[in-house]
Chain A
């Protein structure tokens, strides 16, 4: 009963599409027609042994984009390659890199991937090609998993070093003298998954690249940068901001693809009054069950780690293997240990695993081969990630299916109502702000440890001399008589900060069920209060654990196995304090808009116990954990007094919640960013303004420039919000616009509309 024979995927998909139960849920159905391959002749200069090796694998000629990328990179021009998943992107950089190493034994290249798993994968691929060509390549990954005895060999002799930006930041650059063979001969720097380097992380990575360039210059190298990215609106701009040099765009995809059905699915309306739709998780589960049962290897993406675990449990119930046999359904998310992840990836490739439920950890290009179907449960936040998740399904030949199952979230409902946005609008911009002062200052510190900084040197911005003086005042560096700033502190600056988040450490989850304690996994510090607060039910691989104790100072959560019929969901409380106003505009009669620096603090204060399947509330508890703070930038709107005075406090309170909700959705659309990157907070009596206020803030410390952009778009924001609210077919508010009436009040929708009219 488990699986139908392979090869029946086409029929199973056809049967599903024809089924009458599915039809009413389909908000949009597009068929992407198969594409024929387009090849180019091998460019002049490609290493003949590589050509032979590739021919041996059935690659007679490169795709057009591969030939173009080789041509540019080999000629010394920086490139960014933007083509869909599984289009042979890796050859775009492996070809010139292996060519350089084949021609000159001393030549070196550095590969950067956002995760260790991707790096390990790439090593296998690179070595496979090098071995087939008889090149005897010396290559290895260099990360936390590299054994100490291998490390020194990689440092001295590794021709292609495969690592991640974090490792480059904390282990390679500060110890560049041990790596001088690499830096002296560095010809290529490969940055794959470029689109993941946006926001705060991208801003950090851009600064790591600044440091890398300083070291290369010191050793007399000037490497060519080869970037590869999933589809985003501004790949070239993003690459140029990170590399800080002109970059050539290559986006003429020559790879073939099979027929693909793309569906936007909206669960049925469950409650007309509340405007609530059925659970996306449940709809996604049904869809996945049907596909897997038909022999369609399927991946389902859920947005939260909890959702991943819940769905894994459900599917495992359905597809329970005979006793003693391994599960054919696996969960996959961040927080699993490396060997657990490797095993799942292997199972996917060799077909033992028939279904996977993943968070976006698998969204990146891990080489699991292609699957037959991909289901995104809930809009992943950006158009680019949606397509990336959908791209997980897609064979070179044969039919595949990708589906987005919309949740009740406003942006999901917006997409269900306007699916053309998904198909025709350009995807998001990758925004980075390498000049974020928090970020830049930390990297300038780290860089001055690596090499003294001459007084006239420019590190990213013209104001570098001022920053150097600030660092000197603080006692980190000192200007010596030769007018260079030298690191003058006993600390090691690269260990003071992390590239990924403000949180330097993870919380380790320790299972104390057995006689011996074992480490179950990790969660990052910001997520810890939500997931592993005391009395939480933490779910790992479908198994429930009760959190007995969270030792915040030691960063450890102690859990024991349990079996209960509920899960927990924590509530987040947010406060905001204005520190400084940078800019303001008084637009009578529409009210006031301001922009400035704020401190946002959040705290988890209580949690709910929700029953499985019905999701009804069966209890709650309080949580006492320290507050987490963040300095960032915000734009806030203050509606005119005569407008707000018309309403009583409760009405206004509800309406502001609705306003915040719709402003976040449309703000994210206008800024083309993930709604999670844009924080919102509505205060009916804000301490700073003394009046009802709507704050929109950059959800990363220091900001990446979102709200600065938004300040110039306020009028448009209000106009689009008003359109969204007024054009929504619901009576008193629904998740697609301001939220259901129980949240925003009986007059909520009308009041939001009036407020918007008054503010516009």
Chain B
């Protein structure tokens, strides 16, 4: 009978490249790591973490803008993998806080897995000092992973102490920059908006391998680039928040690289609805792409109608109805919709819908409508609306006539008649 080891040797296994195994002693290794980076070793119950502290001077306008916000922790982690499963570990965290014109970045580096609890305790205590977390994709990655690590280690009190407010800049950056830049990875934003140029950066995909290599006995030097990478991430998050604050405060007027529609949404989310509407109105006049114009107007209309500014909403569309074209027909449909839904003006709506129908005929005759398919699509919408409006006006008239003739059949105590004509009316 073969021994188990012999049999194991014949097993076909997916074999990653074998790496040398290190048996260096625990404390010695942690000390050596700290010495290598000229850093301090913070020894805690349950292990130790290397604490690297660096200060980065921010442009003074950025610093002063950030100073207007609630104090935040600019936060990013480096991990042993990309899944948020229970086997992925945070081996390096970077936390930046604003101190005058400087960003003070504290990095916590894990000497080896058994020290994890110490790193997590230090990290949680650090984050708990400020009321706000600021990240780039923290909602999707860093924070679920941090929660998983705290759970595995039973640090539930630490978890409860994390700041309640978390501003993830990824969705904001997506709104503002993804369309003009063609992507919203942090590196793309850095290059296109923040003016950050990374030197010989360690690619993100290599980060876990560097740490495994260190664990298996390589010099801590392999981690130097990872520390720099993480530092730059933290600084970029702070710079990005400064830029977002600037844009929100009116910087959008002169911004070159900016998605206007996204900016309007951003302004709206911040409560600056008037700014958002103004931006959209300007942009819809300036835009050249017809689809974009419609999208901008739609958004503006939504905001205006929500604020009860029906006139302005209607004016936004009537301005686009002068030239006989498919877009003009679309604009007339919108006018009809506004009149019907928000003014309760069925006759006005009928007029607008009829105008849409006329414009469409004209545009088609002039050959401005595009293909049969596009015209046909708008035609269907116009006809449907007209039919419905005709039915409803007819019903409303019948009801008005009945009202004139007699008292309500349900009597005065009965439920009110439906204010909205239903399909039953026809």
Contact = CB atoms under 8 A, between A and B. Distances in A.
A152 to B, nearest CB: 11
Interface string A63-81: 0000000000000000000
A451 B86 CA distance: 7
A631 B12 contact: yes
Given A437-B7, A448-B87, 13 more contacts: A177-B86, A180-B151, A441-B13, A449-B86, A449-B87, A452-B113, A466-B4, A473-B21, A475-B17, A478-B113, A492-B85, A582-B1, A597-B10
Contact of A176 (B2, B15, B29, B86): B86
Interface stretch (B63-71, B209-217, B305-313, B389-397): B209-217
Contacts of A492: 81, 83, 85, 87
A545 interface: no
The 3 closest A-B pairs by CB, nearest first: A449-B87, A481-B26, A177-B148
A117 to B, nearest CB: 28
B210 to A, nearest CB: 11
B82 A490 contact: yes
B286 interface: no
A489 B113 CA distance: 13
B310 to A, nearest CB: 35
Contacts of A466: 4-5, 8
A534 interface: no
Interface residues of B, dominant DSSP:
loop
A438 interface: yes
A487 interface: yes
A449 B85 contact: yes
B418 interface: no
Nearest to A180: B151
> Which of B8, B81, B86: most chain A Cβ within 10 A?
B86
Given A466-B4, A478-B215, A480-B112, A490 B80 contact: yes
Contact of A450 (B10, B13, B87, B113): B87
B18 A490 contact: no
Nearest to B145: A177
Contact of B81 (A473, A480, A490, A583): A490
B16 A580 contact: no
Contact of B148 (A178, A467, A482): A178
A486 interface: yes
A473 B114 contact: no
Interface residues of B, number: 43
Interface in A445-470: 448-452, 463, 466-467, 470
Contacts of B13: 441, 474
25 contacts: A174-B83, A175-B86, A437-B8, A441-B11, A449-B85, A449-B86, A463-B4, A470-B8, A472-B21, A473-B18, A474-B18, A475-B16, A479-B21, A480-B113, A481-B25, A487-B80, A487-B87, A488-B216, A489-B212, A490-B208, A492-B87, A493-B87, A496-B14, A583-B1, A631-B11
Interface string A482-510: 10101111111110100000000000000
Interface in B138-180: 144, 147-149, 151-152
> Which of B16, B25, B113: most chain A Cβ within 10 A?
B113
Contacts of A441: 8, 11, 13
Contacts of A473: 18, 21
A479 B15 CA distance: 18
Contacts of A475: 15-19, 212
B137 interface: no
A417 B416 CA distance: 81
B215 A489 contact: no
A480 B29 CA distance: 12
A452 B89 CA distance: 11
B87 A467 contact: no
Interface of A: 174-178, 180, 437-438, 441, 448-452, 463, 466-467, 470, 472-476, 478-482, 484, 486-494, 496, 579-580, 582-583, 597, 631
Contact of B2 (A175, A463, A486, A580): A580
Contacts of B318: none
Nearest to B81: A490
A174 to B, nearest CB: 4
B151 A488 contact: no
A728 B114 CA distance: 70
A177 B87 contact: no
Given A437-B11, A474-B15, A580-B2, A451 B152 contact: yes
Contacts of B26: 481-482
A480 B114 contact: yes
Interface residues of A, dominant DSSP:
mixed
B81 A491 contact: yes
Contacts of A437: 4, 7-8, 11
> Which of A176, A441, A466, A478: most chain B Cβ within 10 A?
A478
Interface in B76-92: 80-87, 89
Contact of A481 (B14, B17, B112, B149): B112
B5 to A, nearest CB: 6
Nearest to A494: B85
A727 to B, nearest CB: 38
> Which of A438, A470, A488, A631: most chain B Cβ within 10 A?
A488
A711 B311 CA distance: 91
Nearest to A463: B4
A467 B8 contact: yes
Contacts of B84: 175
A482 B25 CA distance: 10
A174 B10 contact: no
A484 B149 CA distance: 17
Nearest to A482: B114
Nearest to B2: A582
B85 A174 contact: yes
A450 B212 contact: no
Nearest to B26: A481
Contacts of B209: 490
Nearest to B114: A482
A498 to B, nearest CB: 14
Nearest to B206: A490
A478 B21 contact: yes
A467 B11 CA distance: 12
A481 B110 CA distance: 13
A452 B149 CA distance: 13
Interface string B18-62: 110100011001000000000000000000000000000000000
A441 B11 CA distance: 10
B21 to A, nearest CB: 7
> Which of B19, B85, B147: most chain A Cβ within 10 A?
B85
A492 B88 CA distance: 9
Given A475-B17, A480-B113, A580 B10 contact: yes
Contacts of B19: 475
Given A463-B4, A489-B16, A580-B2, A450 B80 contact: no
Nearest to B151: A177
B295 to A, nearest CB: 27
A583 B215 CA distance: 43
A175 B87 CA distance: 9
A451 B87 CA distance: 7
Given A474-B13, A484-B114, A174 B86 contact: yes
A490 B17 CA distance: 13
Contacts of B114: 480-482, 484
Nearest to B24: A481
Contacts of A450: 85-87
A470 B5 CA distance: 9
Contacts of B147: 177
Contact of B16 (A175, A176, A476, A597): A476
Contacts of A480: 112-114
Nearest to B149: A177
Contacts of B212: 475, 478, 488-490
Interface string B89-117: 10000000000000000000000111000
A146 to B, nearest CB: 18
A470 B113 CA distance: 20
A365 to B, nearest CB: 33
